[in-house]
Amino acid sequence: MKATRLLSFVVAAGVFIARADEEKLPLLKVGNDTYTNVVVTSHNATDVYFIHAGGMANAKLRKLSPELQKLFNYDPQRAAGAEQKLADSKNQYHQQVLRQTTPQAPDMTRQPATAAAGGATEAVWRNDYPAALAQAKAENKRLLVDFTGSDWCGWCIKFEKDVLSTPQFAAYADRKLQLVRLDFPHHSSQSDALKRANAALYGQFRVDGFPTFVLVNGDGRELGRQVGYLRGGPDAFIAELENFSGR
């Protein structure tokens, strides 16, 4: 055994082992749901985020055992405040969307998305958030993060076809953005390291639906987000990103 201090708690039929570098649960029960081979990736005031034998998930801290609540420093008042703040933020965002008029797309005529004009015809996505953020900062660009379920989320697949795979979006991204795709597939294989990294960012950005697009600046500060499918094709999406950038 490594010379690392271990903390053990009985959880259902298993033992919780918390190392300095990782937290593992052979078995975790949350209400009527049971998860096996759990690796905790992050937690906040309200939730714990983890990968397990069947994929990735999150659970409310209030639904965990008292031992685990203590481990994750669960504070009911702090959690209630965080959930209320999130609810207010969502309501404010949706009210803002309802008040918005149809956005006007920026002028793309000077650099159309054609190979002859030198524009990109296919967007280049990567899965390394820290590297993409550093590149965005170095190039004075924004970073667009796409939280998606590429092989099961119908709206994600439709938005990919209608917007993200278009030459117009590719040309815009080539000039203005670095792109990161954080995928949470049901059928495609991923390395454990990538699953953990994606799950940590899922928790960090408090994502609760797919697709979710988050635009950040070179310092990682969130400028705006789109949750769900946006109608209007690449023009509407580009206009929304420009609106976020101008805040």
Place of tokens 């404010």: 92
- What is residue 17's predicted lDDT score, i.e. its pLDDT? 32
pLDDT tens string 151-175: 888 999 999 999 999 999 999 999 9
Is the same domain home to 43 and 136? no
Is the same domain home to 134 and 35? no
pLDDT tens string 169-185: 999 999 999 999 999 98
Is the same domain home to 48 and 133? no
CATH number at residue 194: 3.40.30.10
Is the same domain home to 30 and 139? no
Is the same domain home to 234 and 124? yes
- Which tokens go with 95? 């009210």
Is the same domain home to 126 and 239? yes
pTM: 0.59
Is the same domain home to 126 and 237? yes
Domain that holds residue 50: 7-73
Highest mean pLDDT out of 15-24, 98-107, 208-217: 208-217
Q: What is the 3-state secondary structure (H, E, C) of the chain?
A: CCCCCCEEEEECCEEEEECCCCEEEEEEEECCEEEEEEEEEEECCCEEEEEECCEEEEEEHHHCCHHHHHHCCCCHHHHHHHHHHHHHHHHHHHHHHHHCCCCCCCCCCCCCCCCCCCCCCCCCCECCHHHHHHHHHHHCCEEEEEEECCCCCHHHHHHHHHHHCCHHHHHHHHHHEEEEEEECCCCCCCCHHHHHHHHHHHHHCCCCCCCEEEEECCCCCEEEEEECCCCCHHHHHHHHHHHHHCC
25's CB contacts (< 8 A; 6+ apart) are 11, 14, 16, 17, 35, 38, 39, 40, 50
Q: Please tell me the total count of domains within the chain.
A: 2
Residue 146 lies in a domain: yes
Residue 112 lies in a domain: no
